[in-house]
Amino acid sequence: MTEAVVDLRLARALRRVQVRFATDEEGPLVGELVKAAGHVVGGCDWSRVYPHWLVAISRGHIAGCLQICYGIPVARLELLAFALGTSFQVRCLAVKALLSLGALTAKKAGASMVTGCVPAAQQHFKDLLKHEGCKVLYSGNMMGKAV
C-alpha cells in the first residue's frame, strides 16, 4: 500500500473524530472523564478548562480528552481519558488526533518538546507513542498534591 493511500484512508477515518479545545461549560464533563479514567483523586474545580484541554468529538459527543500543560521549552500532554464504551477504532483515531493537535498547539506556544507520563498498566499506549517517534526519558511515579 502506498503512502498516499494510507494518508487518504487516515483522512477519511479522521472525519469520524473531530478535535477542538474544550469550553469551560464542558469542564465538568471533562472532569468526569478524567475521574472515570482514575487520573484525579478529587477536589478539583473543573469550571475553567479552556484553553488547557482538548476534546475528541465522535457522533456529536465527547469521546475523549487530553490536557495541554503549556511550557517553554518543554510542554506536557497529560491525563488522556476516554468515555466508557468508546470503540477501539474511535479511541485509536482520537489518540492520534489529540496528540497531533496537542503537540502543534504546544509548538505554536513556544515549546520545542512535549512530554507526558504513561501509566505502567498502559504498555500498549507506550508502544504506540514509540511508533510515533517518542522516546522514554525516565521512569518513575507521577506525584500530585492539592493546592
Q: DSSP string covering 27-64, please?
A: HHHHHHHHHHTT---S----S--TTTEEEEEETTEEEE
Residue 147 has what pLDDT?
74
Q: Give the whole-angstrom CA distance, residue 108 versus residue 62.
A: 25
Sequence-ordered list of residues with C-beta below 8 angstroms from that of 49, at least 6 positions apart, any chain: 22, 23, 24, 26, 27, 30
Q: Using one digit for the tens of pLDDT, what is the confidence trace for 63-97?
A: 999 999 999 999 999 999 999 999 988 988 898 88
Mean pLDDT for back-to-back runs of 10 residues, the chain (147 residues): 60 80 97 88 90 95 96 94 90 88 94 89 81 82 70
pTM assigned to the model = 0.84
Phi, psi angle pair for 30, to nearest 5°? -60, -45
